Structure 1
Amino acid sequence: RTGGSGGAVLFFRHDGQALRGQAGCPAPGLDPHRGRQAVTIPPGAHPATGGAYTWRVPPWDVPPPPIPHWLAALLAPAPQPMPPRRMAADRAPGVLLRALHAVCDAPAGMANTTLNARAYALGRWCGAGMMDMAQARDTLLHAAQRRRIPLNEARATIRSGLTAGLRNPRPVMRALP
């Protein structure tokens, strides 16, 4: 029994599962301690009231019971958010290279249409933060120059496609558990 606050200290053993120890968690009035955290026991005194802590049952008479499953579940650490799947750093260079080849290898009469489509696709990657905008623009401009698309026309097409793609970013994929 605590020394005057009307509370009690309960001891449980567990199988090494991770437990949170935070005052008021999992419910108000509870203050779970675990591991090497200090707890006041007899003959200690309550810090606010000065009352003596006493044993209801001394631990040398009865070993601590196992922690109830429901309590261990309440004290389990919160699940960690899933890390993002490897996308931007690993896939962006390949996406840029494929865009470059698509524009360079587009059928006759389809180079500007292909440039616009690839600009839109790269703009979606940029909008999701998975690709650098300047790198996407420069790659597309290089492809347009190789296809001999007039510079003013290429810049306008790339700007239009990238801007439209930015407004509709790719969904950021999450790793599978």
Structure 2
Amino acid sequence: MAHSPSLETEALRYSGEFGWPVFPLAEGSKIPPAGTRGFLDAVTDPHAVASAFSRFPRANIGIATGNGLLVFDIDGRNGGFESIASLKAEGRPFGHCPVARTGNGGRHLYFAIHEPIKCRTGIWPGLDIKADGGYVVGPPSRIGASKSGTGGSYAWLIDPFRTPLPPIPDWLLTELRPKAIAAKPIDSSGSPFSAVRRLDGLARFVAGAASGSRNAALNWASFKAAELIRQNQIGTSEVVGTLRTAALNAGLDIREITATIESGLHAGIEKGGSANV
């Protein structure tokens, strides 16, 4: 039987070979030990790494993201795999990259990034971005069962020691760049056509969502569409009508559709400030 590398050994490999800053996480957990500062304590110097993990001999591995590393976090329990399938069907693939299975059965896709990108939660249903100011749990860490899942070990499915980190796909980089920069030409023109195109894209995402993730896709699309309403780029009735049609085409029940759209729009409006819905 092959010898399983220790957590400290793997932490030293990540920092030494890739320059990924690492830090201890509590045993069997995704959170830092009490009295530590989490990713703010992340280091790459081998002596500092060894010292940190000697304080917590059973610690899991935290890998600080940002500074050249971006991790695409797929949560299979909340429609992440269905979202990935929908994105690929739209011609937005991720390509070949290092992939880790998470303790709760999700996936982490590892990419190189060469500009500042912030962490994003729920960019699509079940999909998060770990970048500047974030971290992920590194293999072979192990987490216990919780409300979030059954727990288990993190493991490489595609090993970064054999598969170099590719650059983040261009289409994803465009999506992640600060909205103020990407949206400025559209917003300054005041043209309603850009809003219509954005709403149409949200509707196509809902209509193409896989079974089991359609309601989550509709909620996410409604939340995103609320931005168009807040900016007075499009009317509420047009948003509701377009998303309702897409959801009906996807096979959702009309009562479920109405409640989900209302919930998503309300959350989106509340996040962006007061507005009449």
TM-score (normalizing by structure 1): 0.46
Which protein has the larger Cα radius of gyration, Structure 1 or Structure 2? 1
Larger relative contact order (CA 8 Å, sep ≥ 6): 1
TM-score (normalizing by structure 2): 0.30
Larger relative strand fraction: 2
